[in-house]
Structure 1
């Protein structure tokens, strides 16, 4: 089975790394090449082209696997499906499913206090 890090490194054309987050960091550094600081100027940087961090990628893979299971069992009258909340989804108070983008907080509490 292909390791998550090796898979992501292959997608983004990097030599095998030990960390998805390292590949992300390298891509960001490459985008800011020649600038004084990461925060000095964001013109020309498209953050949608950056690879996701490992935690977000893991949730995306869980959702994709769950969707694949739905497709594979679509011909069964009563498929035995696992709980979607264990596969990158969460229930709203109204009972609808929505994407779980992060497992924890988006920003650490310490950084939230600073901002």
Structure 2
């Protein structure tokens, strides 16, 4: 609507049969305001469209309510549409914060931390004797995306929003899909889901354990059971004597 003459009235016909109606797009644009309307291309792209994936079971309503209440998020989504002239790092930081809010984390801005907290809340195990004993089957679709995945999602959002926001031009965009979240495979483009390794290269890279075999194997017992020790099992023998 930003590039349409102000004296034009635009309506959109929707529905079918007895459910047909006309939406006054001009009035809707005036009600929402210029900034929020400018953020809509990026909003639609980031929450899921024909060219980008969606956040599982988050839909559009709740993300829009969160967006509408925050001038910071509105401005960020406006700037995403002009990604070549925007600060990518600042936009991505704001996007991570916005996605954390979609998953109901009000005090967390790090998407990886939110992901771990989601796992702990849903599948946390208090059994120190058997920390791998999970009572539930893990449903990974409930987790927020990790930072590496969200970054590629962000790039695709930027490309799509830039394309839509400049659709009035003869050449809407000169951005390359391969630089914005896609990779070329044969004669088509496929999602580039993330950059880097899918899994940690080793256990030691994600723990503080010293795996040096030449050091003394004796360690202090801080009250945490070693899963290799039989004493961690329940007192079944003692119970049989009772």
1:71 corresponds to: 164
Provide Cα deviations, 1:95-114, integer angstroms capped at 9, x if missing partner: 42110011112123336xxx
2:100 corresponds to: 9
In structure 2, what is the Cα distance between the partners aligned to 1:25 and 1:77?
Answer: 46
1:23 corresponds to: 114
Match of 2:198 among 97, 106, 112: 106
1:97 corresponds to: 189
1:39: how far off? 3.6
**RCO higher in 1 or 2 (8 Å CA, sep ≥ 6)?**
1
Helix, strand or coil: the match of 1:109? coil
- Unpaired stretches in structure 2, ≥5 consecutive residues: 1-71, 74-93, 204-242
1:42: how far off? 6.4
- Unpaired stretches in structure 1, ≥5 consecutive residues: none
In structure 1, what is the Cα distance between the partners aligned to 2:106 and 2:171?
Answer: 45
CA 1:86–1:31: 2 relative to 1, 3 Å: same
Q: TM-score, normalised by structure 2?
A: 0.40
1:18: how far off? 4.5
1:38: how far off? 6.2
Provide Cα deviations, 1:34-81, integer angstroms capped at 9, x if missing partner: 553664236343211110111111111111221122222333322332
Helix, strand or coil: the match of 2:190? strand
In structure 1, what is the Cα distance between the partners aligned to 2:200 and 2:106?
Answer: 30
User: How many aligned positions are there?
Assistant: 110
Question: Does structure 2 conserve the Cα–Cα contact (< 8 Å) formed by 1:88 and 1:100?
Answer: yes
Larger radius of gyration, structure 1 or 2?
2
2:174 corresponds to: 81
Moved more, 7-16 or 96-105: 7-16
Question: Does structure 2 conserve the Cα–Cα contact (< 8 Å) formed by 1:88 and 1:99?
Answer: yes
Moved more, 11-20 or 47-56: 11-20
Question: Does structure 2 conserve the Cα–Cα contact (< 8 Å) formed by 1:24 and 1:50?
Answer: yes
CA 1:40–1:15: 2 relative to 1, 3 Å: same
